[in-house]
Amino acid sequence: MNDSLSPTDDPRLAGTPTDRISDAARTRFRIDPGWHFGFERLVEWSDVDAFRHANHTSFLLWFEAARNRYLQAAGLPRLSADTPGPVMMSLEARYLLPLAYYDPVFVTARVRSMRRTSFVMEYAAWGEAGCHASCTAVLVLMINATGEKVAIPDGVRTAIRALDAPSEEGA
Amino acid sequence: MNDSLSPTDDPRLAGTPTDRISDAARTRFRIDPGWHFGFERLVEWSDVDAFRHANHTSFLLWFEAARNRYLQAAGLPRLSADTPGPVMMSLEARYLLPLAYYDPVFVTARVRSMRRTSFVMEYAAWGEAGCHASCTAVLVLMINATGEKVAIPDGVRTAIRALDAPSEEGA
Amino acid sequence: MNDSLSPTDDPRLAGTPTDRISDAARTRFRIDPGWHFGFERLVEWSDVDAFRHANHTSFLLWFEAARNRYLQAAGLPRLSADTPGPVMMSLEARYLLPLAYYDPVFVTARVRSMRRTSFVMEYAAWGEAGCHASCTAVLVLMINATGEKVAIPDGVRTAIRALDAPSEEGA
Amino acid sequence: MNDSLSPTDDPRLAGTPTDRISDAARTRFRIDPGWHFGFERLVEWSDVDAFRHANHTSFLLWFEAARNRYLQAAGLPRLSADTPGPVMMSLEARYLLPLAYYDPVFVTARVRSMRRTSFVMEYAAWGEAGCHASCTAVLVLMINATGEKVAIPDGVRTAIRALDAPSEEGA
């Protein structure tokens, strides 16, 4: 991990928790060393369903926020219809332990592999008992207004390489 | 498929579309013959994100509604903390085609296999171009207030067998 | 009420409950005679929070769906960024009785008054005990892509007049 | 404002932005001096609808989170079915300016008046152009499992008085 991903230089993130994982967070949430990017949040009332646990889709919305922040920190323009944005092709999620209202949760994201226009990201949600849920998603970069697939920009690719050392393949 | 699953006998469903798949719906949405349970809805404004397509989590909430209706039609009590309810262990979803605001979508559900306390369900979302998304989920039946796993009740098991002929295994 | 609002002529609504209020629904939900447009739905699992009642924002999303259907039935184009769409200026809501998971709820909408570019709509959610919540909203018609206010189209105005006989004022 | 409301003593809030309004935030978001409690967040992708602005209900969910944090900081137990929790009776909201994806927004809350079991809260959402939306809500404190109204606990009342000096009335 080096400094090419510097979310805290973005004034939009001023006042929000840094997206680097501090040693304190890593210890408190038992986060594996293979993760470098994430942020803490609380389980909100709107995340919880009538079983009094965070609904399975709430985890996926946290992962969506983590994906967007990660890509923006890597240099992708803020999501819009006319710039390259990630579109989900498939996902797999495993739910290991529940989370209750107001539990702190640390959400992590990383890129596992990149191709020309698509990439595989992994996500996890960590509570004080360790990993509560994990997810793998295949995404393709697309101009949403036109549906056109676009190559991962070089600068973004470089920033991701520096943070997560993903495998890379042609096509 | 026989009559042991009779959602339309439930006065709670009076006024809602039947959850049997009509021939007209099957033709219009090109629904494969292996599906027997589902309902039509419209893509709501709240389902759609700023890319102007139904968000990937909206599909999963439709599938959640389909799961709950299916299980209730099979005789499971209406979801509550003190009665057996499905808890998601894992899911896999594939997103094939987007859906826009106000598009009609037909949501189907079926049980693929059952064990003693857990079962595998499949879901699909059909638009006028055919299958737009599919999903497989592993669920366990649990009393949410206590976290206790419970066996699938015999009557529910019988109703599911009659509708979907799932594979069954011990434990 | 006459036939100028004919939602069931819209093939998009084929298979969904009609948005005219049937006598049966009016009796069952004790709907006041001053309402002419609405539809029945069930309280979904995703509508309910950890107090096991529909969250206060769920009612507002039902009202949003009712607003969009009403306006589309009155001839407004399906919502998009480039066509006139309603933007909320203010709302008032009163919550009278709770609704639980899977309760049937009938959602009604009407226009109370129109000006040149803005209008006041009222909404209500009816359960089997009568009115559970009501809402009044002030909306302005706007091209969202540009922020430009636009006059209510004549055809839409005529259809609304025919259904709800709202008061009308200049500018 | 004094120290009886000390959210940052709550380890649950460790790592989250403090809920006191810093001078820097007050200047940046042009927050009126009459507000003492709030937090910054970003407009998430899930907050935004297909008009590419935060949906009107997203503001209300931010206000819900602010209400819950405020009351917990004032000493109310974390929300549960068996402890006193706020139930919304009515709300009024005014939408002044839109917010786009990833815009920073500062959400404030205060108590305007208290009676025995009910109270009036005000909320606002501040962007870099000042106030984007405001809301007033009437809430009643209730044990949700039983529906029983309960008096605002003395300690909570004292903490609220110290922060916001609300008017108070009998009954």
CB contact under 8 A, C79 and B64: no
Q: Which of B52, B65, B104 is opposite residue C45, by nearest beta carbon? A: B65
Q: Say yes or no to pLDDT of B10 above 60.
A: no
CB of B89 closer than 8 Å to CB of C113: no
Q: Could you read off the pLDDT of A45-85 as tens digits, one per residue? A: 999 999 999 999 999 999 999 999 999 999 999 999 899 99
DSSP D90-159: EEEEEE-S---TT-EEEEEEEEEEE-SSEEEEEEEEEETTEEEEEEEEEEEEEETTTTEE-PPPHHHHHH
At C170 the pLDDT is 67
At B88 the pLDDT is 98
At B170 the pLDDT is 67
Beta-bridge partner residues of B84: B143
CATH topology of domain B7-165: Thiol Ester Dehydrase; Chain A (3.10.129)
At D16 the pLDDT is 39
More confident residue, A56 or C171: A56
CB contact C85 to D (< 8 Å): yes
Q: Which of C56, C85, C90 is opposite residue D51, by nearest beta carbon? A: C85
By the 10 Å C-beta count (0-12 exposed, 13-18 middle, 19+ buried), A48 is classed as buried
CB contact under 8 A, B57 and A61: yes
CB contact under 8 A, A48 and C50: yes
Q: Say yes or no to pLDDT of B64 above 90.
A: yes
Q: Say yes or no to pLDDT of C2 above 50.
A: no
Tokens of C5: 């609002």
Dihedral sign computed on CA atoms, order D17, D23, D28, D31: positive
With beta carbons under 8 A apart, name residues in chain B contacting D47.
Answer: none
Q: Strands B84-95, B130-143: parallel, antiparallel or unpaired by DSSP?
A: antiparallel
Q: Could you read off the pLDDT of A92-122 as tens digits, one per residue? A: 999 999 999 999 999 999 999 999 999 999 9
Q: What is the CATH number of domain C7-168?
A: 3.10.129.10
**Most C CBs within 10 Å, among B26, B31, B39, B68, to test the C interface:** B68
Q: Say yes or no to pLDDT of B166 above 60.
A: yes
Kindly identify which residue of chain B lies nearest to residue D100, measuring between CA atoms. B50
CA distance C65 to chain B (A): 7
CB contact under 8 A, B50 and D46: no
Nearest residue to B44 (alpha-carbon basis) of D63, C98, C72: C72
Buried b (16+ CB within 10 A) or exposed e, D107-133: bbbbbbebbbbbbbbbbbbbbeeebbb
CB contact C158 to A (< 8 Å): no
DSSP-based three-state secondary structure for B102: coil
CB contact under 8 A, D81 and C144: no
Kindly identify which residue of chain D lies nearest to residue A127, measuring between CA atoms. D12
Q: Say yes or no to pLDDT of A163 above 80.
A: yes
Q: Say yes or no to pLDDT of C58 above 50.
A: yes
DSSP B26-42: HHHTT--TT--EEEEEE
More confident residue, A119 or B170: A119
CA distance B66 to chain A (A): 15
- Entry field: residues in chain C: 171
Ranges in chain D, pLDDT < 70: 1-18, 170-171
Lowest mean pLDDT among B126-140, B155-169, C107-121: B155-169
Angle of the B56-73 helix axis to the A56-73 helix axis, nearest 10: 170
CA distance B136 to chain D (A): 24
Chains that touch A (3 or more CB pairs under 8 A): B, C, D
Question: What is the overall mean pLDDT for chain A?
Answer: 89
CB contact under 8 A, C50 and A46: no
CB contact under 8 A, D42 and A12: yes
CA distance D144 to chain B (A): 14
CB of A73 closer than 8 Å to CB of A36: no
Mean pLDDT, rounded, for C37-66: 97
CB of D159 closer than 8 Å to CB of D166: no
CA distance C39 to chain D (A): 21
DSSP-based three-state secondary structure for A135: strand
Kindly identify which residue of chain C lies nearest to residue B11, measuring between CA atoms. C104
CB contact B48 to A (< 8 Å): no
Chains B, D: CB contacts within 8 A come to 22
CB contact under 8 A, A78 and D25: no
Q: Which of C46, C50, C55 is opposite residue A101, by nearest beta carbon? A: C50
CB of C48 closer than 8 Å to CB of C54: yes
Q: Could you read off the pLDDT of B22-55 as tens digits, one per residue? A: 999 999 999 999 999 999 999 999 999 999 999 9
- Region of residue C102 (left: phi > 0; alpha: psi -120 to 50; beta: else): left
Q: Say yes or no to pLDDT of B2 above 70.
A: no
Q: Say yes or no to pLDDT of B110 above 60.
A: yes
More confident residue, B42 or B7: B42
Find residues 94-123 of chain D whose CB sits inside 8 Å of chain C: 94-95
CB contact C145 to B (< 8 Å): no
Question: What is the overall mean pLDDT for chain C?
Answer: 89
CB contact under 8 A, D51 and C89: no
**Most C CBs within 10 Å, among A49, A52, A58, to test the C interface:** A49
Nearest residue to C67 (alpha-carbon basis) of C161, C1, C141, C4: C141
CB contact A17 to D (< 8 Å): yes
Report in angstroms the alpha-carbon separations of D151 from B8, C34, D80, D170.
Answer: 45, 38, 17, 11
CB contact C79 to D (< 8 Å): yes
**CATH superfamily membership of D16-166:** Hotdog Thioesterase (3.10.129.10)
CB contact under 8 A, A65 and D44: yes
CA distance D93 to chain A (A): 19
Q: What is the CATH number of domain A19-166?
A: 3.10.129.10
CB contact under 8 A, A42 and D72: no
Mean pLDDT, rounded, for B73-99: 95
**Angle at alpha carbon of residue D117, lines to D111 and D120, rounded to 5°:** 25
With beta carbons under 8 A apart, name residues in chain C contacting A55.
Answer: 46
Nearest residue to A131 (alpha-carbon basis) of A48, A3, A46, A34: A34
Q: Where are the domains of chain C?
A: 7-168
Q: What pTM, to 2 d.p., does this model score? A: 0.91
Kindly identify which residue of chain A lies nearest to residue B146, measuring between CA atoms. A51
CB contact A93 to B (< 8 Å): yes
CB contact under 8 A, A81 and B52: yes
At D81 the pLDDT is 87
At B1 the pLDDT is 36
